[in-house]
């Protein structure tokens, strides 16, 4: 009996017997030498092209670091990793990182400013004397602090706008990076679901051609901005079709 994924056409087609290919004639010594030289020339060309590309990338990162006041490493990670680093987050909190963050916070409260090497020199011995129970408590306090900081950042309208902008930027980086690594295309749209928060619909297509294909795919008029506005009205109305029609009728926009 065919499986759920087997089509009728496949079942009715005659089975093809795959015979083993005939072995090729062995290469002569001169032919092997010629092939080797061709591979070396090809590899030298690839290495030179990659070296040129890498040098130009490093130079660009240096220029961007001066222009935008960021470290060159920041731009190199964006160029080379394509957002992959955001996918593989650290699953387990390191107790030493939690300890160091707590000590840095205590120093800031006292009006002191210490960098990471200084914190390590001053407090590493104290960390080594901690018990496993104390380290676990450190991790819990660190997680609680991070959670409270996220909630505080979302309390104000400006913090909400920054949060949305950061998330949209990260999604774009992830999608572009995924396209470079795997070979995918896609799009997303983010709309608000409350009238208390003001934000335009956020659209992103991995390619212009994909957006141009949408009218063909839907077989009707497709205006990206208009679709975003209608989706936003639908969400603000509580995802209720009748309420959405009422809002659009009375000129919600």
Q: Does 34 map to a domain?
A: no
Mean pLDDT for 167-181 is 87
Q: Does 33 map to a domain?
A: no
Q: What is the CA 125 to chain-centroid distance, rounded?
A: 38
Q: At residue 71, what are phi and psi to the nearest 5 degrees?
A: -70, 145
Residues 162 and 227 in one domain: yes
Domain assignment of residue 131, given as a range: 91-153
Closest CA to 61 of 84, 80, 83: 80
Residues 55 and 72 in one domain: yes
pLDDT of residue 252 exceeding 50, the answer is no
Q: What is the pLDDT of residues 14-48, one digit of tens each?
A: 455 555 667 778 888 888 889 889 998 998 888 88
pLDDT band at 84 (very low <50, low <70, confident <90, very high): low
pLDDT band at 189 (very low <50, low <70, confident <90, very high): very high
Residues 67 and 97 in one domain: no
What is the total count of domains within the chain?
3
Residues 72 and 142 in one domain: no
Neighbours of 22 (CB within 10 A): 6
Quick one: pLDDT at residue 10?
44
Q: Of 81, 108, 137, at which residue does a domain stop? A: 81
Q: Does 20 map to a domain?
A: no
Q: Does 26 map to a domain?
A: no
Q: Does 218 map to a domain?
A: yes
Residues 144 and 161 in one domain: no
Mean pLDDT for the chain?
Answer: 80
pLDDT of residue 153 exceeding 60, the answer is no
Of 120 and 78, the structure prediction assigns the larger pLDDT to 120
Q: Does 25 map to a domain?
A: no
pLDDT band at 8 (very low <50, low <70, confident <90, very high): very low
Of 9 and 152, the structure prediction assigns the larger pLDDT to 152
Give me 114's structure tokens: 């210490």
Residues 55 and 75 in one domain: yes
Q: Of 135, 153, 171, at which residue does a domain stop? A: 153
What's the pTM?
Answer: 0.48
Q: Does 174 map to a domain?
A: yes
Closest CA to 123 of 93, 94, 101, 146: 101
Residues 149 and 161 in one domain: no
What are 24-32's contacts with CB under 8 Å, separation 24+?
none
Q: Of 37, 57, 81, at which residue does a domain stop? A: 81
Query: What radius of gyration, in Å, describes the C-alpha atoms of the chain?
Result: 29
Give CA separation, 131 vs 53, 99, 136, in Å. Answer: 50, 12, 9
Of 13 and 187, the structure prediction assigns the larger pLDDT to 187
Q: What is the pLDDT of residues 103-135, one digit of tens each?
A: 888 888 888 888 878 888 888 889 889 898 988
pLDDT of residue 202 exceeding 90, the answer is yes
Residues 162 and 244 in one domain: yes
Q: Does 30 map to a domain?
A: no
């Amino acid at each position: 009996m065919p499986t759920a994924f087997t089509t009728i056409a496949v079942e009715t087609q005659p089975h093809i017997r795959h015979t083993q290919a005939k072995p090729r004639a062995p290469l002569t010594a001169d032919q092997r030498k010629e092939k080797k030289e061709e591979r070396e020339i090809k590899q030298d060309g690839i290495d030179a092209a990659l070296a040129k590309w890498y040098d130009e990338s490093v130079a660009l990162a240096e220029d961007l670091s001066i222009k935008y006041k960021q470290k060159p490493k920041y731009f190199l990670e964006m160029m080379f990793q394509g957002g992959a680093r955001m996918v593989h987050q650290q699953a387990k909190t390191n107790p030493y990182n939690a300890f160091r963050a707590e000590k840095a916070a205590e120093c800031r409260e006292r009006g002191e400013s210490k960098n990471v090497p200084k914190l390590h020199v001053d407090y590493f011995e104290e960390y080594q004397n901690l018990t496993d129970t104390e380290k676990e408590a450190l991790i819990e306090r660190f997680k609680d602090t991070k959670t409270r900081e996220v909630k505080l950042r979302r309390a104000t309208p400006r913090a909400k706008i920054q949060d949305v902008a950061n998330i949209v930027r990260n999604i774009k980086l992830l999608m572009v990076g995924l396209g470079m690594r795997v070979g995918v295309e896609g799009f997303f749209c983010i709309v608000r679901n409350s009238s208390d928060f003001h934000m335009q619909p956020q659209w992103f297509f991995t390619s212009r051609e994909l957006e141009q294909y949408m009218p063909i795919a839907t077989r009707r008029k497709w205006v990206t901005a208009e679709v975003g506005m209608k989706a936003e009205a639908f969400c603000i109305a509580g995802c209720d079709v009748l309420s959405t029609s009422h809002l659009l009728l009375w000129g919600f926009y």
